[in-house]
Structure formats: structure tokens, C-alpha cells
Amino acid sequence: MAKRIEAVGVTAYYGTFKAIEDITMTIEPRSVTALIGPSGCGKSTFLRSINRMHEVLPGARVEGRLTLDGNDIYERNVDVTAVRRNIGMVFQRPNPFPTMSIFDNVVAGLKLNGVRKKSLLDDAAEKALKSANLWDEVKNRLGKPGAGLSGGQQQRLCIARTIAVQPAVVLMDEPCSALDPISTGAIEDLIFELKNEYTIIIVTHNMQQAARVSDRTAFFSISQTGDPGRLIEHDVTSKIFTNPREKRTEDYITGRFG
Amino acid sequence: MTTISTPGIGTDLRGRRLPKWAPWAIAAGAAVLSYLAIYLGGLLDGGWVLTAVVAVLLYLVLLAAVATGVEGSRAARNRVATSLIYSAFVLALLPLLSVVYTLVSKGVSRIDADFFTHSMNGITAFDANGGAYHAMIGTLEQVGLAALISVPLGVAAAVYIVEYGRGKLATAIRFFVDVMTGIPSIIAGLFVLAFYVFGMYKFFNHGQGGYSGFAASLALVVLMLPTVTRSCEEMLRLVPDALREGSYALGIAKWKTVMRVVLPTALPGIVTGVMLAVARAAGETAPVLLVSGGFNSINFNPFSGNQSSLAIYIWDQAGAASQYAPARAWSAALTLVAFVLTLTIVAKLLARRSKLK
């Protein structure tokens, strides 16, 4: 299920603005990789270029090579919906579909892609909600609107929705930044369980969180405003946080910069 | 240390306040004063409207004076502004209430079984009976057909502008939709008259031009399309991008995202916009008069032959110098308003029912 992602010389633009430059890194399957760095350094741009979500904005494009288990996801005849089905994404703010019930939210990816069989959908919903540690809280009100849940529950609903389509990779763009510490703890536990089945990449501003949940950490930075973001260091998390190779990484982690 | 003194704001948090009954007392006083001045003082040859206007102005002045004396100038300005806003609200509501009152009081006289089951076939303006059955059929068919054509087209155009359109073409379409909104309705009627009634219609009527209910529908489409498109566009823009992205991230194709996520989210607003357009179309007279021909008898077929509509019927009856015709016109007007109101309520209920509870 889980797949390897390889980025070679990835450079992303928004129109004429170069947001990230020459990112080269390999992300192993069944691992959690945290992307950290100051605001505007291109972590989110890199994350969004992995499932081609950045293309939603007009004028955005990517150079370089991004592969999923060796298959180039930017090749000409690649179907972007297939890429996104394999590489799911959880956003900063929970975004359940307001017109859909909890159940319909979870199976939206399946239903809208043509799965009709009720029994299949029921099973998928239960499995996804259980994986997202949400089943016990919502099993008696699956027909209620998803927007009626608390913020933390909504975010877990969005995670359930993402894993219901059984992707190979799950991208998370600051998934806990709008949540309280208890909900954050619940999501971190969940990430720890999910990595047995998925490749997970998480952008976070919270360095304790990066240290807690990730196996490897990548530090991005910019030299000054307007310059493209670059990958400064990518290593095992414990090494990044205790004995980084680069001075800039150390400065950032110890709070002297950024 | 220097202290900055702010005028009007002391260290004491509580100020002196007017008692609750004071504004009412002032209002009553203003009303009495105004009445005395206008009716007894013989100032102008007033009437109750002038009395009311003078009373409101007096009230504002007195309130400002009393409040300034007791509470200070900030509180006085607040009271005057609040009173002005309430008066504006009442002023805006009065015409509406007046219209409804006039319609109901004058319209009920001919709301009877005859009115809903008979046409004007063989009945002149000077006969007592007659009904608007043929006109109701005309309005229902013409507005229905117009909605059937303009709603899908308008929604599709809005979807194009918001979801797909990029660059010059989308800007141009938006511009022309705006221009279309400003087209006088008679121009829409003339367009259909030239294009359809004396143009296209010839091709399937043995070379003869002709009036029809469908021609009226086409004129209404020209008028409804920009309204539907614009309101739908505004509603689609209100749908947060986060929902679109959430859907794309599940590998859901763009058109499906539009159909199943974006449009349902915007549905209540779209329904409101469509109802406004329908209401406007149902009341249109000039273009319909020009192209549907008007008719005194029942014609169920909108595609061939003259057809009446409630708007034409009202125009026709209101203009006749007869003691019976104006009552028919008022009843038809009441029917038309009731029809639009019912449609709006039903549409709102449907839109609300589609929302989850």
C-alpha cells in the first residue's frame, strides 16, 4: 500500500515567482516525515506539489521530477485525479462538506468516484472511522451533518475521509494548528497508528510535534524575503533535533532564528 | 506623569440616563404638539400625513435636546441615530404594506369560482362576469417555459464564469451579462418580435409569422438570464475554496466537485436568485404584450396561436372604462402576487428541506 516518494530537483513557481528551488529528497514508505521551517519557506508549496494540489492556483507550475514508486506524477498523460486518489491530503482547517452527513463525508471520495454498493460503502465508512479513532463518537449519529462536530472531531472526520479512498500517501498541512492540545494529542496518536499503512508527510510549525511524531525531519528555509525556499537538511528526526549538521538548522531549532 | 483628558469621558463609568419611559413620553408629546399645531393652530391645511411627519421631526429635535441635557452629547447622538434608523425602516415598509393592503382590499371582490374557471371568451369589458383562467394558464406556461430554459443556462454560465473561465473570455462574458441586466424589457420584446415572431417562426408555420406564448417565454428568457447568472455567480463565489480543495484531494474530478460539492453548498442562495428572476418575469407586461398577442379565450398550446397572461389581462382590464373591468384587473393583480409569493415560499421550503438537520 504505502509507496515511496522521490523528489529530484523540484522547483515550483507561482506565475513568475519562484517559491521553492531544487528540492531533492526521498521519502520512505511507512514512515512519518515532518517538514519544518519558518513561514514562507515553501514547505506547504512542496507538500502541495506532491499531489499536484498547487495547480489549483492559476499560473502555478513545477519543474523537476516527482515520482511515486518510480512513476513520474508530472508526466504528460498522467491523470491528476488518479494522482490525488493515491496521494491524499488533510488541510490546515477542517473542511467537511457542509451539505453532507458524517457518513456521506467519509465515503464522499468513493461515492463520487462511482462506488454505489451500500454494503461496500458501509464497510469502508466503518473501517475509515475506526482508523481515525472517531467511530465510537459518531457511530450513533452518522446521518447528522459533519459540520456539527467539534473542531478536533471534524479534523479526524477529514482524516477518515482521506483514508477511506485508501491512498498510498497522506499529506498533512499543519493539521493541528486550529486545534486545542487534547485534539492535537488525539491526532498525533492517530498519525502514529497510520504510519503502519501509509507514507505520511506532515508540515508543522510546532517543533515538539515534529519531534514527537516523525521518523525523519526536513528543514526548509529562505535566505531572505523574495528568495525561493530551499531544503537545508533532511535527516533522522533525533539527529536533526540533537546534532544537526547545519548551523542554520540548529539556530532555527534552538529558537535563535525564525 | 501627565494625564490625557478625554472630553466627555470621566473616570466614573456610570453616567446619568434618561428613564425608560422618557422617549415614549417625548413621542407622545411630539404627537400632541403636532396635532395641535396643524389642526387647531390652523398651520397649513394639513391632514394626518403632515401631522405624522411633523411629529417625527419634533420628536427628533425634542429627544436630542432632552438627551443632550441629561445624558451628554454622545448619548444624544446615539438616540437620534437610532431613531432615524427606525424611521427609515418604517418608511421603507410603508409602501409594501400599502401595496398589499390595496391589492387585498380591492382584489377580493372578484376572487370567486367564475374568475378561476372562466375566460373572457364572448365577454366584453361591460359585462359583469368573466374570468382570468386563460391568463393564468398563459402566465404559468410562459413563465414555466422561460424558467426551464433560463435556469439551466444561467447556472451553467455562472459555473463557467466562476469555476472554469480564465482570462479574457470570462471577463467578456461577465461584462455582457452586466450589460444584459440593464436591457429595458421592451427591447427584449422587440428582439423576439423580429427574431422569432416574424423570423424563425415562419420556418415551421408555412412561411407565416405569428404570435405565441413561447415567443413571450423567449422574451422572458432574455430578461431572466442575466439575473439568474449574476445571482448564481455571487453564490458560487461564496463557496469556500477549502471545500473545492478538499474534494480535489480525494481524487474527485472537477466537474463532479462542481456538481456534488459546490452547487449543493450554494443551492439555497441560487434558489433565492432564481425566484427573484421568476417574480420579475411573471410581472413583465411590455415584451409579453408585444409577442404573445393577447387573447380572450383559452389556449393551452404555448407554441402556436395567441395567448394571454395575467400581466396582459391586468393591462387590458385596467384600461377599460367599465364598472366591472377594474375589479377584474385588481383580482388578477392579487392572483399574480399570490402566485409569485406561493412559488417563493415553496422554493424556500424545498431548499431548506435539502439541508441536513
| Distance linking the first and last C-alpha atoms of chain B | 60
pTM of the model: 0.83
Q: Which three cell numbers stand for residue B185?
A: 424589457
More confident residue, A101 or B205: A101
Instruction: Quickly state the pLDDT bin for B111 (edges 50, 70, 90).
Output: confident
Identity of the residue in A56, A143, A165 whose CB atom sits nearest the CB atom of B250: A165
Is the CB of residue A125 less than 8 Å from the CB of residue A107?
A: yes
Task: Give the minimum alpha-carbon distance from B154 to chain A in angstroms, rounded to a whole number.
Answer: 22
Residue A107 lies in a domain: no
Q: What does the pLDDT average to over A82-89?
A: 93
Helix (H) or strand (E) holding B177: helix B167-181
Measure the CA–CA gap between A124 and A138, rounded to whole angstroms: 15
The answer to whether B249 contacts A84, with C-beta atoms less than 8 Å apart, is yes
Instruction: Encode pLDDT of A25-68 as tens digits.
Output: 999 999 999 999 998 899 999 999 999 999 888 889 999 999 99
B92 and B130 within one domain:
no
pLDDT of residue A58: 84
By the CB < 8 Å criterion, does A161 face chain B? yes
Residue B9 lies in a domain: no
B185 and B45 within one domain:
no
Instruction: Quickly state the pLDDT bin for B42 (edges 50, 70, 90).
Output: low
Does residue B125 register a pLDDT over 80? Answer: no
The answer to whether A97 contacts B252, with C-beta atoms less than 8 Å apart, is no
Residue B6 lies in a domain: no
pLDDT of residue A104: 94
pLDDT of residue A217: 95
Instruction: Quickly state the pLDDT bin for B200 (edges 50, 70, 90).
Output: confident
By the CB < 8 Å criterion, does A49 face chain B? no
Does residue B2 register a pLDDT over 70? Answer: no
Q: What does the pLDDT average to over B254-281?
A: 91
Q: Which three cell numbers stand for residue B45?
A: 391645511
Is residue B38 packed enough to be buried (19+ CB in 10 Å), middle (13-18) or exposed (0-12)? buried
Mean pLDDT taken over chain B: 88
B-chain residues near A44 (CB < 8 A): none
B204 and B66 within one domain:
no
Read off the DSSP letter of residue A57. S
pLDDT of residue B225: 94
The answer to whether B251 contacts A158, with C-beta atoms less than 8 Å apart, is no
Is the CB of residue A30 less than 8 Å from the CB of residue A24?
A: no
Give the domain-ending residue among B59, B84, B109: B109
Does residue B253 register a pLDDT over 70? Answer: yes
Task: Give the minimum alpha-carbon distance from B264 to chain A in angstroms, rounded to a whole number.
Answer: 7
Residue B1 lies in a domain: no
Cα distances from A4 to residues A60, A70, A129, B169, B210, in angstroms, run 24, 8, 25, 42, 71
- Nearest 5 degrees, angle CA A233-CA A234-CA A240? 80
Task: Give the minimum alpha-carbon distance from A158 to chain B in angstroms, rounded to a whole number.
Answer: 9
Residue A101 lies in a domain: no
What is the share, in percent, of chain B residues with pLDDT greater than 70? 94
Residue B95 lies in a domain: yes
CATH code, domain with A35: 3.40.50.300
Residue B42 lies in a domain: yes
Strand order in the sheet with A87-90: A87-90, A169-173, A199-203, A32-36, A216-221, A230-236
Identity of the residue in A56, A99, A161 whose CB atom sits nearest the CB atom of B250: A161
Residue A134 lies in a domain: no
B125 and B55 within one domain:
no
Identity of the residue in B241, B243, B248 whose CB atom sits nearest the CB atom of A97: B243
Instruction: Quickly state the pLDDT bin for A131 (edges 50, 70, 90).
Output: confident
Strand order in the sheet with A60-68: A17-27, A5-14, A60-68, A71-72
Residue A29 lies in a domain: yes
More confident residue, B351 or A120: A120
Count of pairs with CB atoms under 8 A, one residue in A, one in B? 83
The answer to whether B251 contacts A165, with C-beta atoms less than 8 Å apart, is yes
Instruction: Work out whether strand A60-68 and strand A71-72 pair parallel, antiparallel, or are unpaired.
Output: antiparallel
Instruction: Quickly state the pLDDT bin for A170 (edges 50, 70, 90).
Output: very high
Measure the CA–CA gap between A66 and A43, rounded to whole angstroms: 15
Instruction: Quickly state the pLDDT bin for B18 (edges 50, 70, 90).
Output: confident
Task: Give the minimum alpha-carbon distance from B305 to chain A in angstroms, rounded to a whole number.
Answer: 45
SS3 of residue B124 by DSSP: coil
Number of domains in chain B: 2
Q: Interface of chain B against chain A, CB under 8 Å?
A: 166, 240-253, 256-257, 260-261, 264-265, 267, 354-357
Measure the CA–CA gap between B239 and A22, rounded to whole angstroms: 35
B120 and B81 within one domain:
no
- Quick one: which of B224, B146, B223 has its CA closest to B185? B223
Instruction: Quickly state the pLDDT bin for B116 (edges 50, 70, 90).
Output: confident
B-chain residues near A109 (CB < 8 A): 250-252
Is the CB of residue A108 less than 8 Å from the CB of residue B252?
A: yes
Instruction: Quickly state the pLDDT bin for B109 (edges 50, 70, 90).
Output: confident
B-chain residues near A161 (CB < 8 A): 246, 250
Residue A35 lies in a domain: yes
Residue A33 lies in a domain: yes
Residue A230 lies in a domain: yes
Which of B162, B235, B241, B250 should we substitute to test contact with A (largest number of A Cβ atoms within 10 Å)? B250
Number of domains in chain A: 1
pLDDT of residue A210: 92
Instruction: Quickly state the pLDDT bin for B138 (edges 50, 70, 90).
Output: very high
Give just the sign of the alpha carbon dihedral B191, B197, B198, B199: positive
Q: Write the single-letter amino acid at B275.
A: M
The answer to whether A84 contacts B256, with C-beta atoms less than 8 Å apart, is no
B249 and B341 within one domain:
yes
By the CB < 8 Å criterion, does A78 face chain B? no
By the CB < 8 Å criterion, does A53 face chain B? yes
Does residue B11 register a pLDDT over 70? Answer: no
Residue A125 lies in a domain: no
Does residue B290 register a pLDDT over 80? Answer: yes
Highest mean pLDDT among B196-205, B263-272, B344-353: B263-272
- Nearest C-alpha in A relative to B354: A99
Is residue A29 packed enough to be buried (19+ CB in 10 Å), middle (13-18) or exposed (0-12)? middle
> How many residues are present in chain A?
258
CATH code, domain with B214: 1.10.3720.10
Residue B12 lies in a domain: no
pLDDT of residue B218: 94
Identity of the residue in A113, A143, A158 whose CB atom sits nearest the CB atom of B252: A113
A-chain residues near B257 (CB < 8 A): 112
Give the domain-ending residue among B93, B109, B125: B109
Q: What does the pLDDT average to over B241-258?
A: 94
- Quick one: which of B279, B323, B328 has its CA closest to B308? B328
- Nearest C-alpha in B relative to A54: B245
Q: Write the single-letter amino acid at B189.
A: G
Give the domain-ending residue among B109, B128, B154: B109
Measure the CA–CA gap between B175 and B169, rounded to whole angstroms: 10
Measure the CA–CA gap between A114 and A133, rounded to whole angstroms: 26
B120 and B94 within one domain:
no
pLDDT of residue B331: 93
B91 and B184 within one domain:
no
Cα distances from B275 to residues B161, B204, B356, in angstroms, run 21, 33, 22
Does residue B131 register a pLDDT over 90? Answer: no
B-chain residues near A108 (CB < 8 A): 247, 250, 252, 260-261
B310 and B187 within one domain:
yes
B120 and B64 within one domain:
no
Measure the CA–CA gap between B139 and B308, rounded to whole angstroms: 8
Residue B8 lies in a domain: no
B194 and B61 within one domain:
no
Which of B247, B356, B357 should we substitute to test contact with A (largest number of A Cβ atoms within 10 Å)? B356
Residue B7 lies in a domain: no
Instruction: Quickly state the pLDDT bin for A257 (edges 50, 70, 90).
Output: low
Range of the structural domain that residue A202 is part of: 5-95+167-253
- Nearest C-alpha in B relative to A86: B251
More confident residue, B219 or A180: B219
Q: Which three cell numbers stand for residue B281?
A: 418575469
B196 and B128 within one domain:
yes
Range of the structural domain that residue B147 is part of: 115-353
B110-114, B166-170, B352-356, range with the lowest pLDDT:
B352-356
